[in-house]
């Protein structure tokens, strides 16, 4: 393992377990006959089963010391642990300046401090016809907390929400936790991963509250066109639902299609935009994101959604005041050269993987990603022996090669696989060599190969 991997091993892979698992306590009384009247809540049980962490840690548990190879963690993404993806100096200086000034040591209001909310509005307004004000912005502890706040604000008896398939599993987990019924619409791989809008209309009903759009898309890596997003807005208006758009990868685009914010279509349908600096600036540990309300007609106010968001923010932890105070400088000094350098590395990594996959027939990338930090591949299992599905493929790959990829089933896409590209290039080269060796070992034998083996066996018997 390289020095940088050792330094961040706690973020990249868990250590092999060396201690016994704690024993489950089944007694309800202590030695004095006291009956304990408490126990762990199971409210999160259902939601936790659809998180990525459970799948990734299961795969890590299948890695082995006996393989004599370092674990390559390419199933989940955190580029920040690798030196080539270190954030820009302007962002670091902004945080240091606030830290040393002592201006970030206090509590902040639930919606976030005013200078930071104003800075986010200015940052987003560069591409929007209907301008946002600081009152339209709510700061959150990362984009994930934004999902939680929005879902809690929309949850009511019998409500359902439309989520993409494949998608980001945190949406499923939080919807389940909030009691929102999940209904899935498909993204179409043969149509640039566009949303199946006919499918959206087919699954919506009078209890549907929102449609979730992830653009740039995680995990597909596509960037939606202006025309397609307009059709999404028109479909949502027809159904009487809002659009929740996740745009956290807006500064992680390395293809030719330009990014178009969903807020451009707020005159058609109310749009809640989720964003943050975690992906663009490669600082997920800073935990700063936002909810932006693109709603020139005031629909979200009149339906009391805004009120519910404020109430939910009042009972949740605030993002760090230090990072909030640094946010205006971070956004104002957004370094295009830094983004270009980062995205150039990602594009190189995509090209590297796609080139090497040409020699591995059973793993196919139908479309090169143009954004995000992942690459989706389709598994041609008919070419392999003794591999049941994508999860079986990934489990055996972990056991035999200490190589961890994410099975597509975790994203709602059976017999696909996701490869993380936000790592050092040499890790990808090693990973593709291991993948090729694994697929060669498990490849189905051709008739000629089978006949040759049979002839060899007969020859051996004669000897």
Q: Which of 26-40, 214-228, 415-429 has the lowest mean pLDDT?
A: 26-40
Q: At what angle do helices 336-357 and 425-442 cross, to 10 degrees?
A: 20
pLDDT of res. 18: 47
Domain range enclosing 383? 3-9+44-85+337-447
Residues 17, 31: Cα–Cα separation, whole Å: 32
**Confidence band for 13, pLDDT divided at 50, 70 and 90:** low
Regarding whether 371 and 426 lie in a shared domain, the answer is yes
> 275, 299, 332 — which closes off a domain?
332
Residues 153, 306: Cα–Cα separation, whole Å: 8
Instruction: Please list, in sequence order, all residues whose beta carbon lies within 8 angstroms of the beta carbon of residue 119, skipping any fewer than 6 positions away.
Output: 327, 328, 331, 332
pLDDT of res. 8: 46
Quick one: 302 exposed, middle or buried, by C-beta within 10 A (0-12, 13-18, 19+)?
exposed
> 284, 313, 332 — which closes off a domain?
332
Q: At what angle do helices 114-125 and 321-332 cross, to 10 degrees?
A: 30
Beta-strand pair 242-246/160-165: unpaired
CATH code for the domain in which residue 346 is found: 3.90.1150.10
Regarding whether 73 and 98 lie in a shared domain, the answer is no
Query: Does residue 43 sit in helix, strand or coil?
Result: coil
The two tokens of residue 2 are 């390289």
Q: What's the gap between Cα 274 and its chain centre?
A: 13
In the numeric block, the tokens 């209309």 are attached to 201
| Contact in structure between 150 and 272 (CB atoms under 8 Å) | yes
| Contact in structure between 377 and 365 (CB atoms under 8 Å) | yes
User: How many domains does the chain divide into?
Assistant: 2
Average of per-residue pLDDT across 39-68: 87
Quick one: 313 exposed, middle or buried, by C-beta within 10 A (0-12, 13-18, 19+)?
buried
Regarding whether 369 and 242 lie in a shared domain, the answer is no
Regarding whether 272 and 382 lie in a shared domain, the answer is no
Regarding whether 216 and 104 lie in a shared domain, the answer is yes
Regarding whether 288 and 307 lie in a shared domain, the answer is yes
pLDDT of res. 52: 84
* Residue 226 located in a structural domain: yes
Regarding whether 75 and 93 lie in a shared domain, the answer is no
DSSP H or E segment with residue 355: helix 336-357
Write down the pTM of the prediction: 0.89
Average of per-residue pLDDT across 404-410: 96
Q: What is the mean pLDDT of the chain?
A: 91
* Residue 115 located in a structural domain: yes
Regarding whether 158 and 301 lie in a shared domain, the answer is yes
* Residue 39 located in a structural domain: no
DSSP H or E segment with residue 328: helix 321-332
pLDDT of res. 31: 62
> 298, 316, 332 — which closes off a domain?
332
Regarding whether 225 and 368 lie in a shared domain, the answer is no
Would you give the DSSP letter of residue 366? S
* Residue 14 located in a structural domain: no
The two tokens of residue 316 are 């949740």
Residues 372, 256: Cα–Cα separation, whole Å: 14
């Amino acid at each position: 393992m390289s020095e940088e991997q050792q330094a961040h091993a706690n973020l990249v892979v868990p250590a092999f377990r060396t201690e016994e698992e704690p024993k489950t306590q089944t007694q309800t009384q202590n030695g004095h006959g006291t009956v304990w009247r408490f126990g762990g809540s199971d409210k999160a049980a259902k939601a936790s089963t659809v998180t990525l962490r459970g799948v990734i840690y299961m795969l890590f548990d299948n890695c082995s010391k006996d393989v004599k190879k370092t674990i390559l963690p390419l199933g989940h993404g955190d580029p920040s642990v690798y030196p080539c993806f270190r954030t820009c100096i302007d962002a670091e200086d902004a945080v240091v300046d606030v830290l040393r000034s002592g201006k970030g040591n206090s509590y902040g209001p639930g919606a976030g401090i005013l200078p930071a909310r104003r800075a986010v509005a200015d940052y987003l307004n560069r591409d929007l016809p209907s301008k946002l004000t600081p009152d339209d912005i709510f700061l959150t502890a990362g984009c994930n907390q934004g999902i939680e706040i929005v879902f809690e604000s929309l949850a009511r008896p019998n409500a359902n929400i439309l989520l993409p398939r494949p998608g980001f599993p945190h949406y499923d987990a939080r919807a389940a936790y909030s009691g929102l019924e999940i209904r899935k619409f498909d993204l179409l791989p043969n149509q640039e991963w566009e949303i199946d809008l006919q499918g959206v209309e087919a699954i919506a009903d009078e209890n549907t509250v929102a449609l979730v759009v992830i653009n740039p898309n995680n995990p597909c890596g596509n960037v939606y066109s202006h025309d397609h997003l307009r059709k999404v807005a028109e479909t949502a208006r027809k159904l009487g639902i809002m659009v929740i758009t996740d745009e956290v990868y807006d500064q992680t685009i390395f293809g030719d299609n330009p990014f178009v914010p969903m807020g451009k279509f707020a005159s058609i349908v109310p749009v809640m935009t989720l964003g943050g600096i975690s992906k663009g600036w490669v600082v997920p540990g800073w935990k700063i994101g936002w909810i932006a309300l693109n709603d020139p007609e005031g629909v979200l106010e009149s339906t009391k959604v805004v009120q519910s968001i404020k109430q939910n923010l009042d009972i949740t932890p605030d993002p760090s005041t230090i990072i909030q105070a640094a946010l205006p400088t971070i956004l104002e000094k957004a370094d295009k050269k830094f983004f270009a350098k980062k995205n150039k590395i990602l594009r190189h990594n995509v090209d590297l993987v796609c080139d090497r996959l040409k020699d591995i027939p059973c793993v196919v990338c139908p479309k090169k990603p143009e954004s995000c930090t992942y690459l989706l591949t389709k598994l041609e299992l008919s070419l392999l022996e003794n591999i049941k599905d994508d999860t079986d493929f990934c489990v055996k790959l972990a056991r035999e090669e200490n190589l961890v990829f994410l099975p597509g089933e975790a994203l709602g896409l059976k017999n696909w696989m996701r490869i993380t590209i936000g790592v050092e290039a040499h890790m990808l080269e090693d990973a593709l060599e291991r993948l090729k060796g694994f697929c060669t070992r498990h490849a189905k034998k051709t008739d000629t190969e089978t006949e040759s083996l049979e002839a060899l066996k007969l020859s051996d018997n004669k000897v």
